Amino acid sequence: MSERLRERTPSEIERCIYESWSPFWQFYAERMPLAWRLREADNLFCSYAIPHPLFNQVADVAPNLSQERVAQICARMDERGLPWLWLANPAHWNDTTPQWLPERGLVDAGIVKGMAFDTTLTAIETQTPAELEIREVRSMKETSEFWKGIMPAYEMPVEFAAPFQTVHEAHGFYPNIPMRVYYGVWQGRSVSGSMVYFDKECAIIQCVGTDPDARGRGFAPAVVAACIQAAKEEGYRYVVLQASDMGYPVYLKMGFTEYFDQTFYVKMPS
């Protein structure tokens, strides 16, 4: 049986979700001219030279970190002079680890919920609203439209997307790269979008967003459903993601199952 279709235990699914953050972000970091990426054992450091915490990250943290190791990691990220985040992996941390982060200037910035969708057990019942047209990104013009649709959702300027666009300009689109990108058009403009990255074991959904002016119309579920369908076409059983407070009820209604909470911490440069 294909590794993509194999049934997994709850603990295996949790591991897939824990590990899902890194492959997507590392894919871009390895191909961006100005990006910085470093992997040390189980630690992954990424920085995209963009002044927002989401684009400067610590992930895949090794188990049982010492206070000295936490200080080393923080110093490494502080050298960039950019805001950054630390996505906590509760399966790896000991009880003391989170207490050391405020000492290094990090602030608890909220929780994301690790969730998974089993394509063999749950039907994709989400319907695309009649007023929304789902399009797949296959050109640089469509890439630009995708980012125009989702950046307002994150309260970011569209210029932050430029480094990601350079990757597609150099490497193209699916099937030349292991991801498919979708966006929704409403009233003649892009208003929502989502990506699905094809990793070894699971399909990973990232960058889900809807323009605040277009929320509450079912547009986000529609683009996520397109990603799930793409994962099924690629032969995946499990589709995983990390859900924000806003996205959580949407994914739950779609049939995703919650497995755990992950806290993320943010450090802003002085």
Euclidean distance between CA atoms 101 and 57, whole angstroms: 14
34 in the same domain as 103: yes
Euclidean distance between CA atoms 259 and 94, whole angstroms: 19
Q: Three-state secondary structure along 65-113? A: CCHHHHHHHHHHHHCCCCCEEEECCCCCCCCCHHHHCHHHCCEEEEEEE
Q: Looking at the domain assignment, is residue 52 inside a domain? A: yes
Euclidean distance between CA atoms 54 and 85, whole angstroms: 7
The model carries a pTM of 0.94
For residue 97, pLDDT over 80 is answered with no
158 in the same domain as 192: yes
| Nearest alpha-carbon partner for 43 in 68, 13, 10, 69 | 69
255 in the same domain as 176: yes
Q: Of how many residues is the chain composed?
A: 270
Q: Looking at the domain assignment, is residue 3 inside a domain? A: no
Tell me the per-residue pLDDT of 35-66, one tens digit each, with 9 for 90 and over.
Answer: 888 776 666 788 998 999 999 999 866 677 78
pLDDT of residue 60: 63
Q: Looking at the domain assignment, is residue 245 inside a domain? A: yes
86 in the same domain as 141: no
Q: Looking at the domain assignment, is residue 4 inside a domain? A: no
| Structural domain span for residue 251 | 118-260
Tell me the per-residue pLDDT of 152-161, one tens digit each, with 9 for 90 and over.
Answer: 999 999 999 9
244 in the same domain as 202: yes
Bridge partners, 112 (sequence order): 262
Residue given tokens 């793409």 in the structure block: 230
136 in the same domain as 20: no
